[in-house]
Structure 1
Amino acid sequence: MTILAAIGEERHPKKVLETSAELAARYDSRLVVLHVVPRDDFETHKELLEGNSELGGFTIDQEAKSAAEFVRLAVENVLGEFDDESIEARGRVGDPTEEILAEAERTDPEFVVIGRPRTSQLEKAVFGSVPQNILENTDYNVVSTVIGSDG
């Protein structure tokens, strides 16, 4: 069995990681933690890095590896360690909703754990929301934690 946790950079992933680790322990499941770098952010990173001729080309694969390393560091920071036997770090580049749903299809998780910011219904309607899109477009069990500046 697998638990899939999706974390972002904008807010500290503490609550998502703690909740997903608790579920993984409770159900004796492997924890897959995913970080998706939006395509626009990748393009910005690429432009900045390619401005330095010593670094050469910057690829989507390199960005995905960087995203996986972000996951590893976040897990170590929040949970105290990264156990390769029970946790897998994954990074992707693209539309966050699409990539999270695609990862859910690949891993067939028992639960998908996501964070959602405290926002009003009006903000969600106007700006959209990755967590809202996931909730509306999947049949998987989704656990949504409210996140803020503290977690």
Structure 2
Amino acid sequence: MARTVQITFDCADPGATAAFWAEALGYRLQEPPAGFESWDAALDAMGVPPEQRNDASAVLDPDGVGPRIFFQRVPEPKQNKNRLHLDIRSAVGLEGDARMAALEAEAQRLITHGATRLQRFEPALPLDGGHLVMADPEGNEFCLD
């Protein structure tokens, strides 16, 4: 039996981190529960105090194909390099200079949303067409591939 996957990020600011990843992936923020016009209204009804309202957030693929991505507040900061990371496939089908130009353009777009460019790997065919290593606003590494 096949299973679905949810990807979870530990972070200091779930709302901001979710907004970044929604932008990066073309996802949307998860809407409040049915019957509520906003998350504040839903959280009021649930009795969640204001200081806990940024404890979690989630983003969804608008087409319902990709996994839900959940963001949860944790007290400790990021300590080391990720052992798992996401690859954002932003140059599929492109090769050489055209591929690297598309990756650089996407890197610049994401930098305006808080990402940091960490490293560029030139094409090393046949296995690697070139990629960029980036970090989200909280330092979580990801690749533009």
> Fold-level match, TM-score > 0.5?
no
The structure with the greater share of residues assigned to helix is: 1
Normalised by the length of structure 2, the TM-score is 0.25
Larger RCO of the pair (alpha carbons < 8 Å, separation 6+): 1
Question: Over alpha carbons, which structure has the higher Rg?
Answer: 2
